[in-house]
Amino acid sequence: MNEAKLSMEELRREIERLKREKNAVIMAHYYQRDEIQEIADVIGDSLALAQDAAKIDADIILMCGVHFMGETAKILCPDKKVIVPDLKAGCSLANSCDPEEFRRFIEANPGYTVVSYVNTSAAVKAYTDIVVTSGNAKKIIDSLPKDEKIIFGPDKNLGGYINSVTGRNMLLWDGACHVHDRFDLEGIVELKKQNPNAKILVHPECRKPLQLIADKVGSTAVLLKFAQEDDAQEFIVVTESGILFEMQRKCPNKRFIPAPAKDAECQCNICEYMRMNTLEKVYRALRDETPEIIVDEEIAQKAVKSINRMLELS
Ligand code: 13P
Ligand code: SF4
């Protein structure tokens, strides 16, 4: 069949057929396009995607997110085929931490426990003692002895937030996500003036002033849960706007307002890496079983220890 001619409906049907035929599971992050979230078997934040990948019963995992999410799934499931819609869907935060520079940083600070955010390459995870996500970072850091010296990389905003809520003084790598780093504080304050009853939901990858004006700071899953459980009817959402799809689906009667980015062309903030995945690419990936995520075996053997430590402590 010529995929260029397939309508959205035909793509959806073909994806369903291929999924059954190949015993494949489609996992998607909350920042994926609406139509990908719609056909996914599992939708979640980085933590849920890692936890679910570890126990999934399928021959093929099609990970719709960014590269490090596919790598994490492959490291946890070396015997499964892990494919992604687009191998070029990377992450500016993961890219802000070069593995060799990170190794030199660790060597320059002996005696430190190395904690890395899951938004890192497999090579960085191989130099790491414990991986965390924004959903479990506080819990994991709290579980370490109070006097333990900790290096935290690569997100300085998340690291600063964890320092402030745990009273630690972790040594921070100077990295950031270009999406969360460019939210417009003044624009958000203006939105709050126009919508005084709206609560402000902020991802911890955002800068400190945004964390300080938040009613809730948390991972995508934590923000989603807060929106479901809180009495407020309106929320200003300060993270990638893909999450609005699941928020609206879970809370059809509440209003979600995307927060603006500085210099953005639209009124929201989008991760262009996440949006590289399309329904057509999902279909082709399933049909051709490519592009496949391959992780160097030696790196995977080291990285799996730091990821498993996270899963044990979560
Ligand atoms: P979550 O773990 O909160 O889903 O975040 C992933 C991510 O890439 C944030 O930019
Ligand atoms: Fe990476 Fe930022 Fe995109 Fe998340 S939003 S995948 S941290 S670039």
In this prediction, residue 5 carries a pLDDT of 82
How far, in Å, from the CA of 241 to the mean position of ligand 2? 12
CB of residue 269 inside a 6 A radius of ligand 1: no
How far, in Å, from the CA of 47 to the mean position of ligand 1? 9
How far, in Å, from the CA of 145 to the mean position of ligand 1? 27
The predicted-structure confidence for 201-236, as pLDDT tens digits, reads as follows 999 999 999 999 999 999 999 999 999 999 999 999
How far, in Å, from the CA of 5 to the mean position of ligand 1? 34
Residue nearest to atom 1 of ligand 2 (CA): 91
Band (pLDDT 50/70/90 cuts) for residue 4 is: low
Contact (CB, 8 A) for 218 and 137? no
The predicted-structure confidence for 107-119, as pLDDT tens digits, reads as follows 999 999 999 999 9
Sign of CA dihedral 248, 250, 252, 256: negative
Q: What percent of the chain has pLDDT over 70?
A: 99
How far, in Å, from the CA of 4 to the mean position of ligand 1? 32
CB of residue 219 inside a 6 A radius of ligand 1: yes
Q: What percent of the chain has pLDDT over 90?
A: 96
Distance CA 50, CA 69 (A): 8
The predicted-structure confidence for 139-183, as pLDDT tens digits, reads as follows 999 999 999 999 999 999 999 999 999 999 999 999 999 999 999
Contact (CB, 8 A) for 228 and 214? no
Specify the residue for token string 């902020």: 202
Tally of CB atoms within 10 A around 113: 16
Helix (H, G, I), strand (E, B) or coil at 249: helix
The predicted-structure confidence for 241-281, as pLDDT tens digits, reads as follows 999 999 999 999 999 999 999 877 777 899 999 999 999 99
Best mutation site among 64, 131, 133, 180 for ligand 1 pocket (most ligand atoms within 8 Å of CB): 133
Distance CA 69, CA 30 (A): 12
Closest by alpha carbon to 239, among 265, 264, 213, 210? Answer: 210
Atom of ligand 1 nearest to the CA of 218: 3
Averaged pLDDT for residues 121-142: 98
Ligand 2: list residues with CB < 6 Å.
66, 91-93, 119, 177-180, 240, 271, 273-274
CB of residue 45 inside a 6 A radius of ligand 1: yes
How far, in Å, from the CA of 90 to the mean position of ligand 2? 8
pTM attached to this predicted model: 0.96
Residue nearest to atom 3 of ligand 1 (CA): 219
Using the predicted structure, report yes or no on whether residue 3 has a pLDDT greater than 50. Answer: no
Closest by alpha carbon to 80, among 66, 63, 54, 61? Answer: 61
